[in-house]
Amino acid sequence: MLKTNYQTPMAFSSSTSVLFLVLISAMLSSFIFPSAANLYQHIDLTWGDGRAKILNNGDLLTLSLDKASGSGFKSKNEYLFGKIDMQLKLVPENSAGTVTAYYLSSQGPTHDEIDFEFLGNLSGDPYILHTNVFSQGKGNREQQFYLWFDPTADFHTYSILWNPQRIIFSVDGTPIREFKNSESIGVPYPKNQPMRIYSSLWNADDWATRGGLVKTDWTQAPFTASYRNFNANACTWTSGASSCTSNSPSSTASSSSGWLTEELDSTNQGRLKWVQKNYMIYNYCTDTKRFPQGLPPECAST
């Protein structure tokens, strides 16, 4: 199923109206951050011994990986619900064995987590975008996708919408995955633990590329991923309280809290189905070999 060249949406789409919307969202992706945050103010570089850098007066962040170490960062704030956007440009050329992880996570053995992971590949072969949702320490909810563009050629916007009803993963404004709150049928949902944003670039050549068959080529190091335009329209968590329940005008969610009840309208439901039909390469909800006793209960409603 791997392809040697990235395909344009026209090669896959059966709906010109959906294609038009996807193309428009991609063109607008670089214009949706009129007040993007200064990275110095919102990000802490956490590991890598100088391999993580904030540049251009806070407008750009880079993570690097070499044979000695990878690198990473985290947000200064914790959040309990929000819409988180970041633009990434992934490791170019031969990125096999590398993983660029960008995710929300709490701490502890029963942690919650919402994952984007980008699995590197040989030059010319597409990245695999790996997604997962953990609640109360339990994950195993993987969905994987190819992208309809080369994510190493330019910056693209990767977004997580997390509200009490659903989690929506989006790329350039196009939804690729929705995970709904299914507590009514006994499925834990991340809603009580505040999470920080984390990102790391690290070596995972024991599993990342073709199950570990393709190893990292260290002659290509250092490997570098770039980040810009971080934006968190979210409920910050400070001293055990959420900014969304505060009357303080400094609330990060005060300017626009529509995301707290946001859901996919019919247009975006169509875009989601288009992506999943044409670009999804793994879905735990269809893996009957993995779940011989029956698929997870939330799969019945997806």
pLDDT at residue 30 greater than cutoff 50: no
On whether residue 2 sits in a domain, the answer given is no
Confirm whether 115 is domain-assigned: yes
Q: Report the percent of the chain where pLDDT is more than 90.
A: 81
pLDDT band at residue 26, thresholds of 50, 70 and 90? very low
Which residue range is the domain that position 58 belongs to?
Answer: 9-301
Examine the residue annotation and report whether 117 is marked as an active-site residue of this protein.
yes
Evaluate the omega torsion of the peptide bond into residue 222 and state whether it is cis, within 30 degrees of 0.
yes
Residue 108 inside a domain? The answer is yes
Q: Which residue has the higher pLDDT, 219 or 246?
A: 219
Catalytic (active site) residue 142: no
Residue 169 lies in a domain: yes
Report the candidate in 135, 108, 113, 143 with the shortest Cα–Cα distance to residue 189.
135
Q: What pLDDT does residue 52 have? A: 98
pLDDT confidence band for 36 (50 / 70 / 90): low
Q: Is residue 268 assigned to a domain?
A: yes
The residue from 78, 93, 113, 298 that is catalytic is 113
Give me the pLDDT at residue 185, please. Answer: 95
CA distances from 75 to 83, 176, 266, 302 (A): 14, 24, 33, 31
Instruction: State pLDDT tens for residues 125-138.
Output: 999 999 999 999 99
pLDDT score for 302: 62
Q: How many domains does the chain have?
A: 1
Beta strand spans in 38-148 (E):
43-47, 52-55, 60-65, 71-75, 78-89, 98-105, 113-119, 128-134, 143-145
**CA distance linking residue 37 with residue 293, whole number of Å:** 47
Whether 1 maps to a domain, the answer reads: no
Q: Dump pLDDT digits (tens) for 264-283.
A: 999 999 999 999 999 999 99
Range with lowest mean pLDDT among 17-26, 50-59, 222-231: 17-26
Query: Is residue 4 in some structural domain?
Result: no
Q: Which of the residues 78, 93, 117, 142 is marked catalytic?
A: 117
